Structure 1
Amino acid sequence: MPVCRDAGTAAWAMGPFACTAGPWTTQVTRPLVLGPQTVPFFTDESAVAQRPALAALAAIVHSEDRRVEAILETVARGFMSFTPHLTEYWLEVVEIGLENTPTKAKWRTLVRNVITHFPGHRTLFEDTYLEGKAEGKAEGTALGEAKGVLRVLEVRGIPVSDEVRERIGSCTDLEVVNDWLDRAGTVQRAEDLFTDV
């Protein structure tokens, strides 16, 4: 079942497409296409909460509509009625569906503004969300740096045991990993990274 943002392409994709054998038509296919003509957009936040999957699909399909900002805001605010875990899930579904379209940037900006019902008031939800976001960023950076440590050792031809690889790869302390990265260019053995200097 194709999903299409462009109304003209969606209309073409709906067919009908005829298969023929000589002068006879043997089959006519009319594909079901999810496009602006077949998926309604949402204007009511409560309707989004009742049908989140359809609302997510609508936000994706109508991403080229001139009213896209209002459509996205309705969908995002509708998702806010769920628990934080479900809210994040549906927000990410839409973001992934928007792929690399210009609308994705609009969606990301909008999500930053509606992730809490009371932005800027430092509620428990907002603080928890922001702390988790910061921890995730730091952890992601540490894991990226850990790959760098392993790469430096590999380029220098220094053998790395599975135990050392696991210890480096699982460390989420950015300060420790940065220290290893600094030392990876001079140590004689991978295990020397873990000795105090």
Structure 2
Amino acid sequence: MSRLGKKPITIPEKVKAEFKNGILEISGANGKLSQLIDERINVKIENSTVTLEQKAESKEANMMQGLMRGLVCNMIEGVTSGYKKELELDGLGFKAVMSGKQITLTVGYSHTVTLDIPEGIKVVTGMTQDKIPTLTISGADKQKVGAFAAQVRAVKPPEPYKGFGIKYVGEKIIRKAGKAAAGSKK
């Protein structure tokens, strides 16, 4: 990570970066994000570039430099274009209903599951051409979008026999042979 961590990050137009008291704030069209920078790393903002430098050479500072650079790149991409995860609710009677800042999932249990949508996350429900309900989770913060998508998927992960459950669009589910296939070996 040391070579990658030393590369400067270019800041696009209409994106502002500010570093104060160990916190880097980046604001753009999709919102404002902030990140606590490790005390072993020094941040320099000049000529529409952000450069991360180590204060002292060490293995840990080297690793932190690469990590912080990756997080800053994710923040810049988030405030310019944003992040998006798409989920499919594959199963008989599966559906998702939005109500304010909550989403209610009906996924084959005897009860409905209600999840609170975190601040800064936008959820849109829809349907595919095959009448499969979909959820589109989007936002500026890559970590929040991925974490909420994983939380929704964990409500009913896809099962290996028929593939029913909540899965990411394009996710390949490894299938198992059922009892009928096991009995035909004789």
* TM-score after normalising by structure 2: 0.25
* TM-score after normalising by structure 1: 0.24
Indicate the structure (1 or 2) with the bigger Cα radius of gyration: 1
More strand by share: 2
Q: Which structure has more RCO (C-alpha within 8 Å, separation ≥ 6)?
A: 2
More helix by share: 1
